[in-house]
Structure 1
Amino acid sequence: MAYEPRSPIAIQISGENSPLLFTNKRFSQLSDTFADVNGWNDQDHEPEPDATQELKTLLKLVYPVVVTTALEFLPGFTCIILAGHIKSPHTQQYVDAATLSTMFMNITGFSVGFGLTSALDTLCSQAYGAKRFGKIGLYFQAGLLIILTCLGPVFLLNWYSEQFLLHMGQDPEVSRLAQTFSRWMLPGMPFVFLYELVRKVLQAQNIMKPLVGIAVVGNVVNIVTGYWLTYHTSMGFEGIALSRSLGNMVLPLLLIPYFCHHPHHLTQWWSGWHLQQAAGQVGLFLRLGVPGMLMMTMEWWAFELLTLMAGVLPNAVVAVSAHAVQVNVNNLIYMVFAGLAVASNIRVGNCLGANAPKQAKLACTVALTLTLAISSTFSVMLYVMRGEIPSLFLNDRESIERAASVLAVWAPLEVLDGLNAVVQGVFRGAGKQKVAATVNAVAYYVFGIPVAAVLGFYCVLGVEGLWLGFGFGIFVAASLQFYLLFKRWTWVELADDAQERTAE
Structure 2
Amino acid sequence: MEIPRIVHDELLHQVAGPHEEYLVAVRHAGVSPIDKVDVILDGGEKAAMTADSQLTVWEIVSVEIKRLLAVAFPMMIAVMLEMLPDLVLSVMMGHTDVARSTEILAAYQLSSLIQMMIIGGLIMGLSSAIDTMCSHAFGAKRMVELWRITQAATIVYLTCLPFITLVLCSGKPVLVALGQDPNIADVAGKMLLASLLLVPFCIMYAVMKSALQAQNIVFPFVLASLVSFILSSIAAYFLAFHTSLGYIGVVLGSPVGWFLKAAMVLPVVLRNSVFVESWPGWDWVEAWARVPKIGRLGVSSVLMMTFQMVGFSFISLLAGMLPNADVLIAANGIFVSIISLAFMPLLGICIAGAIRMGNALGAGQARRARLISFIVMSASLSVSGVAAGIVAYIAAPYASAFTPNSETTSLATDLIKELLPLLPLLGFAFGMQSVFRACGKQLLCAQLNFVCLFVLGVPLGLVFAIEFDAGIAGLWAGNMAGTIIFAVAGICWLRATSWEKMAHDAKHGSHPADFDDEGDFAVAV
Q: TM-score range by the shorter chain?
A: 0.7 to 0.9
Does the C-alpha gap of structure 1 residues 395 and 451 become closer, same or farther in structure 2, counting only changes over 3 Å? same
Please name the residue that 1:455 is paired with.
464
Report the 3-state secondary structure (helix = DSSP H, G, I; strand = E; otherwise coil) of the residue aligned with 2:238.
Answer: helix
Report the 3-state secondary structure (helix = DSSP H, G, I; strand = E; otherwise coil) of the residue aligned with 2:52.
Answer: coil
1:349 Cα deviation from its structure 2 partner: 3.2
Query: Which of 432, 440, 444 matches 1:435?
Result: 444
Please name the residue that 1:222 is paired with.
232
CA distance in 2, matches of 1:80, 1:351: 40
Report the 3-state secondary structure (helix = DSSP H, G, I; strand = E; otherwise coil) of the residue aligned with 1:40.
Answer: helix
Please say if residues 288 and 433 of structure 1, whose CA atoms lie closer than 8 Å, have aligned partners that are also in contact.
no
Query: Which of 373, 379, 385 matches 1:376?
Result: 385
Please name the residue that 2:361 is paired with.
352
1:417 Cα deviation from its structure 2 partner: 0.6
Please name the residue that 2:479 is paired with.
470
Please name the residue that 1:294 is paired with.
303
2:498 pairs with 1:489: yes
CA distance in 1, matches of 2:365, 2:154: 30
Please name the residue that 2:63 is paired with.
53
After superposition, the C-alpha distances for 1:101-142 in whole angstroms (9 at most, x for unaligned) are 3332322333211122232465566777x7566576555444
Please say if residues 168 and 193 of structure 2, whose CA atoms lie closer than 8 Å, have aligned partners that are also in contact.
yes
CA distance in 1, matches of 2:223, 2:68: 20
Please name the residue that 1:308 is paired with.
317
CA distance in 1, matches of 2:233, 2:357: 37
1:394 Cα deviation from its structure 2 partner: 7.8
1:279 Cα deviation from its structure 2 partner: 4.6
Please say if residues 126 and 351 of structure 1, whose CA atoms lie closer than 8 Å, have aligned partners that are also in contact.
no
Query: Which of 96, 121, 142 matches 1:111?
Result: 121
Matches within 5 A, 1:320-469: 323-382=332-391, 406-469=415-478
Matches within 5 A, 1:168-179: 168-170=178-180, 175-179=185-189
Please name the residue that 1:149 is paired with.
159
Does the C-alpha gap of structure 1 residues 418 and 454 become closer, same or farther in structure 2, counting only changes over 3 Å? same
Please name the residue that 2:44 is paired with.
39
Report the 3-state secondary structure (helix = DSSP H, G, I; strand = E; otherwise coil) of the residue aligned with 1:411.
Answer: coil
The residue identity in structure 2 corresponding to 1:335 is: M
Does the C-alpha gap of structure 1 residues 219 and 398 become closer, same or farther in structure 2, counting only changes over 3 Å? closer
1:40 Cα deviation from its structure 2 partner: 3.2
2:279 pairs with 1:251: no
Does the C-alpha gap of structure 1 residues 92 and 470 become closer, same or farther in structure 2, counting only changes over 3 Å? closer
Number of paired residues? 472
CA distance in 1, matches of 2:363, 2:140: 8
CA distance in 2, matches of 1:445, 1:212: 34
Please say if residues 348 and 360 of structure 1, whose CA atoms lie closer than 8 Å, have aligned partners that are also in contact.
yes
CA distance in 2, matches of 1:452, 1:148: 38
Matches within 5 A, 1:80-229: 80-86=90-96, 95=105, 97-120=107-130, 123=133, 134=143, 139-170=149-180, 175-200=185-210, 207-229=217-239
RMSD over aligned Cα atoms: 4.0
Q: Which stretch shows the higher mean deviation, 186-195 or 174-183? A: 174-183
1:377 Cα deviation from its structure 2 partner: 1.9
Please name the residue that 1:16 is paired with.
none
Percent identity between matched residues is 28
Does the C-alpha gap of structure 1 residues 394 and 81 become closer, same or farther in structure 2, counting only changes over 3 Å? closer
1:425 Cα deviation from its structure 2 partner: 2.5
1:150 Cα deviation from its structure 2 partner: 0.9
Q: Which stretch shows the higher mean deviation, 337-346 or 232-241? A: 232-241
CA distance in 1, matches of 2:241, 2:171: 26
Does the C-alpha gap of structure 1 residues 417 and 204 become closer, same or farther in structure 2, counting only changes over 3 Å? farther
Report the 3-state secondary structure (helix = DSSP H, G, I; strand = E; otherwise coil) of the residue aligned with 1:502.
Answer: coil
Instruction: Structure 2 unaligned segments of length 5 or more: list them.
Output: 5-39, 514-525
CA distance in 1, matches of 2:378, 2:350: 12
Higher relative contact order (CA 8 A, sep 6+): 2
CA distance in 2, matches of 1:36, 1:96: 56
